[in-house]
Chain A
Amino acid sequence: MLARFEFFHLWLVVFYGLLFLAIHLFLALGIWRAAGMRLPWAWAPRAAKGLVILALAGIGFGLWQRSGHLDTLQKDVEVSLAGICQKAAKLVVDMGGDTDDEARRAEVDKAVRSLFMRSAADEFAGGRYSPVSVIETGAEPKWADLVVSLKIRRQGGDPEIMGCYNQYVHRYSGFSSWTRPYWRNDAGNIPMRDIVFFHQHLVNGRNTVDYPYEVN
């Protein structure tokens, strides 16, 4: 999903390179002629101009394509994360997770974490040139949540955060206000389910957490 941002970054860099090479060629030919010299190739200025136009067209196309992908990115990330939460919730039920057998619970916990890690690696690979960054994948023993942030500069404040609260591990809600990770700070009352999809965004300048999908 994010590889296309890497592709369009490379695309733009190639055309920036072409643009600046063509501009310098054009500049050199113009100076050479202005100094009263004859050009060895009559077609060269037209070719340079053509390259500049081609490069500008390539840059414009890349920027246009990427802004289109940016417009749908928020929804795409939300849908993909909600799907992961859904899968994790189903996994908990399928493995018979609703039990007081601690060994069983530890097994389910491990399976959910590895599902989070695998899914995050699959869905959000190659995100270096995109506004998406993966914050938590369940690798950290303390948290067990899957958390992804979406940087939006024009909001000025915190980035949007989405992901899955792993309430299966934190069923007794072991967090106090001192030990809580920041993506749970504004969570309010988390729904009573094993895996909860959440979406934190700014409403009137305040971080607000929504639970838009019914998972489980």
Chain B
Amino acid sequence: MKPSTINLTPIPLAAAVAGAVAAFGAVWALSQPGEQLFGASMFSVIAKWTFALAIILLVYRRRYFLALSLHAGLAACSWTRIFSEADRWRSAYMEPTGLLGQLRWIVTEDMFLPLCVAIVISLSFAGAVLGGARLYRRARGEADHAGAL
């Protein structure tokens, strides 16, 4: 993909926040919050997250910074979904545990695959921010250069 085809126009802060919250809410609703995250529905939940990521990849071409905010919402949603499932599991037993206990449960029990998906989404988000910074600098540099001419 050539950098020149990517729309790097910044978006207003309010639009960024709204985008992140909307992505969070939409994926939360899609990931069947009423159902258990592991077992038979695991594949479908992972497929939904991957599908959401694919849609966001398309948005990156159209409006890079909007896609970044959607990506942040998706990443936060995937982690929240996993932790909420861990909390649901924990709260069904008389055994109070903190954040670390939940993390241990997530890593060692059935949540390992969704955890991997969440890590991939977060890492790709970090990569997209880095790539966006480079593209933005280059595009601005070219614009400055063009303006000087």
Residues in chain A near residue B68, CB distance under 8 A = 28
Contact B92 A35 (CB under 8 A): no
From residue B105, how far is it (CB to closest CB) to chain A in Å? 11
Expressed in whole angstroms, the minimum distance between the Cβ of B38 and any Cβ of chain A is 17
Interface membership of A37, Cβ < 8 A: yes
Surface stretch bound by B, among A117-125, A150-158, A163-171, A174-182: A150-158
Kindly report which residue of chain B lies nearest to residue A71, judged by CB atoms: B96
Instruction: Tell which of A9-17, A83-91, A185-193 binds the partner.
Output: A9-17
Classify the secondary structure of A's interface with B.
helix
- Are B133 and A31 closer than 8 Å at their CB atoms? yes
Contact of A54 with B by CB under 8 A:
no
Complex: A24 Cα to B93 Cα, angstroms: 31
Structural contact, A31 and B126, CB atoms closer than 8 A: yes
Say whether A25 contacts B24, CB under 8 Å. no
Contact A153 B94 (CB under 8 A): yes
- Stretch binding the partner chain, chosen from B40-48, B53-61, B78-86, B109-117: B78-86
Whole-angstrom distance from the CB of B102 to the nearest CB of chain A?
9
Shortest B113–chain A CB gap in Å is 18
Supposing A17-B80, A31-B129, A36-B137 touch, asked if A24 and B91 sit within 8 A by C-beta, the answer is no
B88 touches A16 (CB 8 A): no
Is B52 an interface position by the 8 A CB rule?
no
- Bound: A31/B128 CA distance, A: 10
- Residue in A17, A37, A152 whose beta carbon sits within 8 Å of that of B76 in the complex: A17
**Is residue A61 within 8 Å, beta carbon to beta carbon, of the partner chain?**
no
Interface residues of B in 105-149 (CB under 8 A from A): 122, 125-126, 129-130, 132-134, 136-137
Per-residue CB contact flags for chain A residues 107-135 toward chain B (1 = under 8 Å, else 0) read 00000000000000000000001110000
- Cβ contact within 8 Å between B133 and A37: yes
User: Per-residue 0/1 for A4-41: is the Cβ within 8 Å of any B Cβ (1 yes, 0 no)?
Assistant: 01001100110011001101110110011001110011
Contact between chains at B96 and A66 (CB < 8 Å): yes
Interface string of A141-160 (1 = CB under 8 A from B): 00000000011111000000
How many Å lie between the Cα of A90 and that of B13 in the bound state?
Answer: 66
CB closest residue in chain B, given A59? B99
User: Please, which residues of chain B bring their CB within 8 A of the CB of A24?
Assistant: 72, 75-76, 122, 125
Question: Judging by beta carbons under 8 Å apart, are A20 and B76 in contact?
Answer: yes
Query: A131 to chain B: which residues have CB within 8 Å?
Result: 91-94
Q: Does A3 have its Cβ within 8 Å of any Cβ on chain B?
A: no
Is A202 located at the chain interface by the 8 A CB criterion?
A: no
The CA of A73 and the CA of B91, in the complex, are separated in Å by 12
- 21 of the cross-chain contacts (CB-CB < 8 Å) are A9-B87, A9-B91, A12-B84, A13-B84, A20-B77, A21-B76, A24-B72, A28-B72, A28-B129, A32-B132, A32-B133, A36-B137, A37-B133, A37-B136, A37-B137, A59-B99, A67-B96, A74-B94, A131-B94, A151-B94, A153-B94
Chain A to chain B: the 9 pairs with minimum beta-carbon distance, closest first: A67-B96, A35-B133, A20-B76, A21-B76, A20-B79, A153-B93, A17-B80, A13-B84, A24-B72
Sample of 6 more A-B contacts, CB < 8 Å, known A37-B136, A130-B91, A154-B95: A8-B91, A63-B96, A63-B98, A66-B96, A152-B93, A153-B93
